[in-house]
Structure 1
Amino acid sequence: MNFKLLSASFGAILLTIHTSFGQITENPKVEESSVPYVKIKKVELTDVNTIIYLQFVERQSKQQPQFRSQPRMSPLPDSRIPQFPQQGISQSQIWLDPETRLYKPGEIDKKFKFIRAENITTTTKTSVANGDTVDFVAYFERLTPGIEEFDFYEGRSSNGNQSWNFYGIHVKNPLKKQPEKPSKPIAKATVPPAKKPAAKPAAKAPQKPAPAPAAKKEAEIAVLKGTVYNAKTKEPIAAQLSYIENGDTLQVRSSSGKYRVGVDAGEQYKFRVMARGYYGSSFGLAPGDSSGKSFDQDVYLTPLIVGETILLPNIYFETSKYTLLPESFEELNRLVDVMRDSPTVKIRVEGHTDNVGDFDKNLELSRQRAESVKNYLIEKGIESSRIEAKGYGGTRPLTKGSEEERKKNRRVEFVITEM
């Protein structure tokens, strides 16, 4: 065997030994991701790193080019927007936040820091044209052996930009087998030679310990997870969650109904849940009010079907009047969005009161309140022909219990009359 052949064989052996140390997962299963246009192509675990290979694809409509504010994409200032309406050419800007971390789901203390990236910037923004594909690589600290599911959490957002987050990434990362330690031979006891007692050292004055450096406070992350269901069938449905973080509106889309969101444990949140063909819902979350770092919140949405009666839970009026209070606007705007998304839907707004007081006055007040809701929808651009308003006074109570229970009778509902 000549020297060149020997060298090549030796190099091949070294390469085999090196790659055997890593675990590679091609196209890993990802339970949920915050955006559809960034994919994880491969995860490689070496002795020192978790290496994630990702791909970004910029795709926009050629018929109606738009400059969207998508996760980790920001619209260019007006003075820099390219003017190519015929070709539908546009640009977005991408980068990777160096504060990105990997977490073990449900165990936020187990986090693995970002180290470096290839083919994507972390301090400046790179422009990407319509149709371009960018393959890039992110290096993190090595996942502890045995962690075979983790979250990729970028999470920090500013100036209308959203983050790239991936939840439930499944990889090959088995526990390492500990080699058995050989038993040490028992040595025969020997008697050490006698020694003179050492002189007792002089006592030193006690020294004041130096103050420990203050640890850098890092934002704690909490995890919110759950499933969005059809309230009638109890089956999971595709849905979208939106919430505000640091002044920016973020969105999480779920095709399976399951969702997982990382949030700042020191902030307060209000989540809005929407699904096409359903009436949306909302709920609040204040992670700091609880000692836990993981929260479960399932959501049940009512389908929009003819004949379905849907309660508008947060509609408020001035006492004994039909003037809408500002606290009602968020709920009414949700109904506006539903009617915009489903332009063939027609509804009947129904007002109800309790049965205390004059019957005729209650009937008139309920009608006026239903009309107030109708007028609000019209002001927001919904055609009046799609909305009917009717008052029932106290003729359709939900309960006849205590005074507190009877408050439920004072309500506004809507009924789907046509699809």
Structure 2
Amino acid sequence: MSKRFCIVLLLLLVASSVMGQDYKKLMKKGKKHFGRGEINSALRYYLEAEQLESGNVELNLHIGRAYLLSDYKHYALPYLTKVLKLAPAMDPDIRFYMGLACQYNYQFDEAIAHYTAYGQLRLLNKPDVGPKILQCQQGDSLIRYPVAVDIENLGSIINSKEHDYAPIITPDQSVLVFTSRREGSTGGKKTSDGEFFEDIYISYRRGENWTPPRQISKNINYDYHDAAAAISANGKELYLYIEDNGGDLYRSVFNGRDWSEPEPLPEPINTPYWETSLSISPDGKRLFFASDRPGGFGNLDLYLSERLPNGSWGNPLNLGPAINTAGFEDSPYIHPDGKTLYFSSDGHKGLGGYDVFRSERSGDIWLKPVNMGYPINTPDDNFHFIMAENRTHAYYTSIQEGGEGKADIYRITFLDEKVNTILAAAKKKKEEEAAVRASAKPVLPAAANYSGQLLDSESGQPLQGNITIAHPQSGDIITVAQTNEDGSFNFEIEKEGTYALSAEAEGYIILSRTLKVSRLGEKTRYVNTNLRMNAIKVGTTAVMANIFFETGKSSLRTESITELDKIRDFLRHSSSVKIQINGHTDNVGNANYNKQLSRKRAQSVKDYLVNNGIEPGRLSVMGYGQERPLFSNDDEEEGRALNRRTEIEVLSH
């Protein structure tokens, strides 16, 4: 053995030993921070350790678990997948972690499989997977029927690379108050997890833009946590959260020049327990807030206190089990109409994490909360939702890919008439006046521009395919958009109306949507939405959104022909596929009658396909009636309408 070779070997051994020591130090520091709940710091050390030993299974487990508790939950999946593949016995909870990771990546079927497998294990003190499975089932349904909204990040003027959240908007949407953990906070201090403490900022709308935010007042922002909670209708009272006495709610008054030093709200609003957020009614007589005080239904509940004749606040009343669950309910917002409550919850059925819900007050009771739908809600956390008075816009906090930082503030524009039912008369008059003024000059055709990606519903991988927009009544093709290599598409619609959207890709079930275009003005409106397709495999279903029947009958309406022909073409192209046509109804009427009606409707679809050249042996029918609703039937016309549907299910291929 040469002397040179021995020297090289010795250097390699020394380097390996040093790297091993460095790895152990990094792991020790990471575990220490993780044990303290300092997830960001733990991740920092774990990811440094990954540079030294990326294949270490234990390290992959630690990284995956840390990501699940971070703002980047969807990053956990590849790390945990490696653990399950190489060392499934390393952690008895690996299936539960995999369920969470798949759920955060919209892989709901895989998540259900992992949760189910975990639920069958005999472990002590294991989490209940039942609610998680319900979330995945609900999530799949919500994504099939996205609400018609345009969601816009407020951009780098408002959002920083850190957390920005809790937006408060004045009624005319001209002033924005929000909370941020950006650099430059009062005192410049950081938490033990390396993040700046909260401060409250203010920004003003100038035309279509926002002014650079500034700290709202030295009287309000302290060295530690200060968070915006609500503002009165006249803009002169600011309510905020200060980390004091376990976390309390405070009030500051604007004197015309500056905000006063905050004073704590009196008992019985504040207690030695945790009071986190609030909303005050426009008349200043009702205060909705969140608290974890004893006697609630779960970890954090919503309460209502009414102002007494002497100006003090009455004893808070828990909003009850219709609103509060065994989980967390937070960030209430009472709409100016005084009867619509928006809030976030991780206990009601949703996609996962915190979802935004709304409930209507009827007399003295609150009706069953309704999920605000996808893409407003995602499998991650969505909270601090505030609806504009005219219901055309809303603002909220969400953690989404492609944002400016961690939690960001977004603006929602509601495009669907069913969602946006209240229009301010003043706004309508203003639009009419603007139209008169504009009539003297040439106006470009209005349009709705749709863009997004065509994706695999499980993996999220981009697909190559075609998207067709047609008039359901006439069958006329409006446009056909081909996707690019990255699955992206773009198309425009220049006239208001209801259209049939279908997407086709090799190896995938036809995707069907109803597209409603309304409120076109002079400017092109841009809508970003992704379409997710199901691969052809046994048991996979797809809702045919543009098949319609005469009321109470099994007769197909003429506007169904376009959709039926798409199914025919799909079956001709996928000649080995056999399908079952499933009919569904809402819960109005007799259950047995509904089951018979749903089967007859499924048979009508089969008859059309057979008459148009599809072999009868490839088609089966099933009527489920009202047995399998996708949405609540409880006094919700929109939910009942979506439950009346026709599905195709793959039996073999």
TM-score (norm 2): 0.28
Greater RCO (Cα-Cα under 8 Å, separation 6 or more): 1
Q: Which has the larger radius of gyration?
A: 1
- Tell me which protein shows more strand as a share of its residues: 1
Larger proportion of helix:
2
